[in-house]
């Protein structure tokens, strides 16, 4: 199984939780150094809690399932203090 397939399989284990809040994630690239670059989609792309979701949920799931991965980064992370950040309706 390719590295991208392994990462996608790991993401599939947490996608239901992301989708519950109106979000999702897509893999943009995996560098030769093992860094996964993700795009946060839907509500995840504008949520101020996305950094916590990325580190505590997404990165943990990927690194546990695919030990070759050294880091996980989002290409469109929303800062917690961004005035345009929007919490999902079921949280706020």
Q: What is the 3-state secondary structure (H, E, C) of the chain?
A: CCHHHHHHHHHHHHHHHHHHCCEEEEEEEECCCCEEEEEEEEHHHCCCCHHHHHHHHHHHHHHHHCCCCCEEEECCCCCCCCCCCCCCCCCC
Place of tokens 């995996």: 30
CATH superfamily membership of 3-74? Fe-S cluster assembly (FSCA) (3.30.300.130)
45-69 confidence digits (pLDDT tens): 777 777 788 788 899 999 999 999 9
**Ramachandran angles phi, psi of 7, nearest 5°:** -65, -45
Kindly report the average pLDDT of the chain as a whole number: 85
The position carrying tokens 């309706």 is: 89
Q: Where are the domains of the chain?
A: 3-74
- Considering the entire predicted model, what is its pTM? 0.81
């Amino acid at each position: 199984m390719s590295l991208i397939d392994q990462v996608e399989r790991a993401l599939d284990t947490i996608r239901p939780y992301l989708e519950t809040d109106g979000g999702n994630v897509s893999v943009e690239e995996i560098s030769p150094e093992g860094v996964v670059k993700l795009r946060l989609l839907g509500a995840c792309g504008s949520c101020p809690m996305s950094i916590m979701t990325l580190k505590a949920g997404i990165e943990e799931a990927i690194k546990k399932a695919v030990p070759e991965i050294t880091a996980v980064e989002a290409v469109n992370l929303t800062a917690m203090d961004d005035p345009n950040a929007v919490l999902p309706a079921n949280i706020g």
